Amino acid sequence: MSLPKISHPTYNISIPSLNKNYKFRPFLVKEEKILLMAKESDKDADIFSAIKQIVNVCCLDDLNVDKLAIFDLEYIFLKLRSFSIENIVKVSYKDLEDNKNYDFSIDLNEIEVKFPDKIVNTIKISENTGIVMKYPSASIYDDKDFLELDKDYLFELIIRCVDKIYEDDTVYEAKDYTKQEIGNFLENLNSKTFSSIQEFLLNSPKLEYVIKYNNSLGNEREIVLNSLNDFFTLR
């Protein structure tokens, strides 16, 4: 006689950059094992690879996880954690002013993605030439060449975030060129144009949760959590 099949509820998660709902199931014991193994490795690459895998298997709709922006992936994972285990998590932080530890409860349902006031992803090189940028995608966590870098981190990230290059009506898709060809093109930009590209990446949307409290000295303090590294232990 076969054992009974276990049914699971489904939930809708609105993906921030797509503004579209996708259906997910909670992650299960088998997925928690993947997370625990990744955390034990103490490598960011393993952790993010595990998160990608979990988001992928828990999504019940057709969703290409590799094409998600990193902040979308982080957001989905936190929402999954919220309805898979519990939305309230407890954290402790040391105040560097009075050297005391403070405990806080965080509601994962209150975490949102903060978008910049103005998004400019088209960087002009000249009147008729420019670069169209995209946000870093989840696929970067499978890019061993990038993950093993010990220098030129930002430049290599920019190479992977070039979407298109255009000149008048001619459009060159970055995916049709090697990373070396894109890198050579970027190296010939002037400093002002390259700074605009850097600014686009530095102002990427990100998770945000702000903790405000008064410490023992009576001073107002603020802790801003804005990356998955801030939240990963919340499981």
pLDDT in tens, 145-200: 887 777 888 999 999 999 999 999 999 999 999 999 999 999 999 999 999 999 99
Q: Closest Cα partner for 209 from 103, 72, 75, 100? A: 75
Give the separation between CA 156 and CA 69, rounded to whole angstroms.
17
User: 134 and 99 in one domain?
Assistant: no
**Total number of domains constituting the chain:** 2
Residue 233, pLDDT score? 55
Q: How many residues does the chain have?
A: 235
Show the CA angle centred on residue 129, arms to residues 123 and 135, nearest 5°.
Answer: 30
Predicted TM-score (pTM) above 0.85: yes
Show the domain range for 43: 11-108
Q: Which of 16-25, 29-38, 160-169 has the lowest mean pLDDT?
A: 29-38
Last residue of a domain, one of 79, 108, 137: 108
Rounded CA-CA distance 123/129 in Å is 9
Q: What mean pLDDT is reported for the chain? A: 90
103 located within any domain: yes
Is position 77 within any domain? yes
Residues 158, 89, single domain; the answer is no
Of 63, 82, 108, the position where a domain reaches its end is 108
pLDDT at 179: 93
Has residue 225 been placed in a domain? no
Do 100 and 131 belong together in one domain? no
CB under 8 Å to 83, separation ≥6 — which residues? 9, 11, 26
140: in domain: yes
Higher pLDDT, 212 or 146: 212
Range with the poorest average pLDDT among 68-77, 96-105, 140-149: 140-149
How many secondary structure helices (H) and strands (E) does the chain include?
Answer: 8, 11
Does 153 lie in the same domain as 71?
no
Average pLDDT over every residue of 211-218: 96
The answer to whether residues 101 and 132 belong to one domain is no
CA neighbor of 59 nearest in space, from 40, 46, 44, 72: 72
